[in-house]
């Protein structure tokens, strides 16, 4: 399990170095997750240590929402002032995500049917 935490931290650290060095406009943990994903794909399976470490972290995932909830309560007036804009962005982004996911799933299903025939 300690090895799993080490691998996760090394991937995040490598993501941090890449984002800072290349001045990329997205979060370094995302780059770290892509590095981890590439490593897991090359390995072919999730090693036991990484699985245990990941499951241990996921069990505490709900704690990460506490700061966001406090932020919502503290900055209620700011959020209420831009509520319509926020609501519109949420609805549109959800609709676009559902649409793109549906189109991709439809195309993948058609490709699978074509390949089976």
pLDDT at position 21 is 94
pLDDT of residue 79: 87
Nearest in space to 24 (alpha carbons), one of 112, 91, 32: 32
Contact 93, 86 (CB under 8 A): no
Element (H, E) at 33: helix 28-43
37-84: per-residue pLDDT in tens?
Answer: 999 999 999 999 999 999 998 898 888 788 888 888 888 898 889 989
How confident is residue 101, by pLDDT bands cut at 50, 70 and 90? Answer: very high
Q: pLDDT tens digits, residue range 3-42?
A: 999 999 999 999 999 999 999 888 999 999 999 999 999 9
95 phi/psi in degrees, rounded to 5: -65, -45
Predicted model pTM: 0.59
Extract the tokens encoding 93.
Answer: 């982004």
Q: What does the pLDDT read at residue 75?
A: 87
End-to-end CA separation in angstroms for the chain: 45
Domain boundaries in the chain?
Answer: 1-59, 65-117
């Amino acid at each position: 399990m300690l090895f799993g935490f080490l691998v996760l931290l090394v991937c995040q650290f490598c993501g941090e170095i890449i984002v800072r060095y290349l001045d990329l406009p997205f979060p370094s943990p995302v780059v770290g997750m892509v590095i981890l994903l590439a490593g897991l794909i090359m390995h072919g399976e999730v090693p036991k240590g990484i699985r245990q470490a990941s499951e241990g972290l996921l069990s505490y995932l709900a704690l990460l929402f506490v700061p966001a909830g406090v932020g919502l309560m503290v900055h209620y007036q700011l959020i209420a002032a831009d509520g319509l804009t926020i609501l519109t962005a949420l609805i549109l982004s959800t609709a676009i995500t559902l649409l793109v996911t549906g189109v991709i799933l439809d195309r993948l299903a058609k490709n699978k049917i074509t390949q089976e025939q």
